[in-house]
Copies of this chain bind each other. A is one copy, B any other.
Amino acid sequence: MATTYFSKRNLQFLLHEVFKAEELTKYDYFSAHDRDTFNLVLDSATYIADTLMHPYLKEVDKNQPELKNGQVTVHPKIKEYLKAMGDAGLIGAGFSFDHGGQQLPEMISSCVGFILMAANNGMMYTGLTSGAAHLITSFGTPELSEAFVPNMLAGTWQGTMALTEPQAGSSLSDVTTSATPQPDGTYKIKGQKVFISAGDHDAAENIIHLMLARIDGAPKGTKGISLFVVPKYRKDEQGESTAPADRPGNFVDNDVVSTGVYHKMGQKGVPAMHLTMGSNDNTVGYIVGQPHQGLPYMFQMMNEARIGVGMTAAAIATAAYYAALQYAKERPQSRRLNEKNHLYAPQTSIINHPDVRRMLLFQKSVTEGSLSLLIEAARLYDISEVAEGEEKENAFLLLDILMPVAKSYPSEMGVQSVSQSVQTFGGYGYTEDFPVEQLYRDIRITPIYEGTTGIQAQDLLGRKMTMKGGKAPQLLFSEMSKTIAEASTHDDLKPYADKLAAELKRTQDVVMSLMPHAQKGDIERYLSDATLFLELFSIVVIAWQWLKQATVAKQILITQNPQGDDLAFYEGKIHTMKFYFHYEVPKTLGLAVRLKDPEVLTIVSEKELAL
């Protein structure tokens, strides 16, 4: 491919040099793998990304899905892509051998997602299928898995997450879609779902919705929600097949009607559907697991889903960064500010202007910092799945406290990073002549997907910081201390290790100043600036990731004496770490002042504000 949209070099550095992916193969579950099989999977994803995705970035954006006569048509390349992904075993990469998967760690399969989304995030189909199928294999009966999962992992059936309803966006406890038990053990489903990504399209032979609904008479609130498989076409050996001719087997229409397709600002390649179930009283749902356990099931998959969103955001920002970097190297404009001979000197490449270099280093620090954290999170996910005892529990707690950051930092800062990519291009960045305007539109959904930033912030401060007596932050701070100790052994890294230690202290001070509100039960006050706390906490977490990367780079520089591009790569890591500490970390000063400030300005008092 002519254009670079991610760095293979950086991915190898993070996976193998920083996070030592191969160490996971010491666990039985992953023992069939080694570094080579990991890399083969990444190569296979890269091939698909290069040939079937990246060349169609603009085309997929330009030809958004349309709903006509009840059928959604999508770009023809998507069918080809789904098939290739199924054939390569990449939809099932993370599934067990038993379920027809490759039993690969999340560390690897989430990096597959990173590569695909960097190539063309408008083709965001297979991650949804994996997530949906994973719910079935995790909580459904073997029969349910057998009926749905093989076709899903083959890429012939599409999976979706059907959670959101018109009156219940972030508030899933208010879901009202109903499920009425039938004598045969199935349920009749009735209701509406909105924003269902890939919720209907003609590139798959069937659409399998993993849907939240409330069984008749179920308790109110979060404890009365169940999870169902609701297909677009259901198998019915008795009935007359009404599904299109290309569906093998006897399938009938399951009364899931595409009521509308949302037209969106970005990610135009994937349809966001408005669906209506049961308008003819003929939508059958198959329960997954136990009644009323829908939300707990969903939340058990949430970490995986949120790693996916974080990866998507990091991938989009990475693609934009490489586009901006290439442009900055090639585009001549003006002279160096210290150039004495402005009249006759030729123009210099804009990468030589400090302000452009600052914008590029910002993008590099955000995108590579994000990817590092996401791979760390995926590693913890894997350990929490396959380890045992304290190791398992600690990994789970660490993952839990990092998740709000791993989902929201790549999204929020990714939006800003792509904005700086646009700015690097100047006026050209605003035109369709370059990919950054599209990436700027695409990435804007990520701070909304899978729990908005505000929800992540409440999750972090309201739950993760305090659960189990604050064990999660304790574990995290002790992990950070290990990195600090290691970095401190290098003279030139020590000042940064000291800085991180000081930031840790600052974060703890902020938490202490907020705690009394929680203890008094004034949750509204406690959480009123939770989003700013998440921002502060994220800056510190990413600083930790950068110090970790720089320490590994430093060790390699000392022990391996790399030359040429390799030398530049490792030195670039240390330089970007410094950039992050000098430019991004100082933002914690203002955030801490605000968070410790007793003045409350965002809570409604008796007298309504004139907003």
- The A522-552 residues at the B interface (CB cut-off 8 A) are 522-524, 527-531
Select from chain B the residue with minimum beta-carbon distance to A457.
B355
Q: Closest CB-CB distance, A267 to chain B, in whole Å?
A: 8
- A524 near B336 with CB under 8 A, answer yes
User: Is B354 within 8 A of A527, CB to CB?
Assistant: yes
Known contacts being A265-B441, A423-B448, is A611 close to B364, with CB within 8 Å? yes
Query: A88 → chain B, closest Cβ, in Å?
Result: 31
Residues of chain A from 412 to 461 with CB closer than 8 A to chain B in the complex:
415, 419, 422-423, 426-427, 429-433, 437, 440-441, 444-445, 447-448, 452-454, 457-458
The answer to the question of A593 belonging to the interface, with a C-beta cut-off of 8 Å to chain B, is yes
Q: Does any Cβ of B come within 8 Å of A247's Cβ?
A: no
How many copies the complex holds: the figure is 2
Give the Cβ gap from A76 to chain B, nearest Cβ, in Å: 23
A432 touches B264 (CB 8 A): yes
A245 within 8 A of B: no
- Which one of A332, A342, A343, A611 has the greatest number of beta carbons of chain B within 10 Å? A611
- Residue in B334, B458, B565 whose CB lies within 8 Å of A170: B334
Name the B residues within 8 Å of A458 (CB-CB).
355
In the complex, what residues of B have CB within 8 A of residue A170's CB?
333-334, 426
- Residues of A215-266 at the interface with B, using a CB-CB cut-off of 8 Å, are 220-221, 262-266
Residue A358 interfacial (CB < 8 Å): yes
Q: Mark A568-581, 1 if CB is under 8 A from B, else 0.
A: 11011001001100
Q: Chain B's nearest CB lies how many Å from the CB of A295?
A: 14
* B171–A333 touching, CB < 8 Å: yes
Q: Are B337 and A524 in contact (CB under 8 A)?
A: yes
Name A327-366 residues within 8 Å CB distance of B: 332-334, 336-338, 342-344, 347, 351-358, 360-361, 364
CB of A525, distance to nearest CB on chain B (Å): 8
Asked whether B531 lies within 8 Å of A355 as measured between CB atoms, the reply is: yes
Listed A/B pairs (22) with beta-carbon separation below 8 Å: A169-B426, A171-B333, A221-B342, A265-B430, A265-B437, A337-B527, A338-B522, A338-B524, A351-B604, A354-B527, A354-B528, A355-B527, A357-B611, A360-B611, A361-B611, A423-B447, A423-B453, A572-B609, A572-B610, A582-B601, A586-B590, A589-B590
Q: Can you list the 7 inter-chain pairs with the closest CB atoms, starting with the nearest?
A: A572-B610, A568-B610, A586-B590, A354-B528, A265-B437, A589-B589, A355-B454
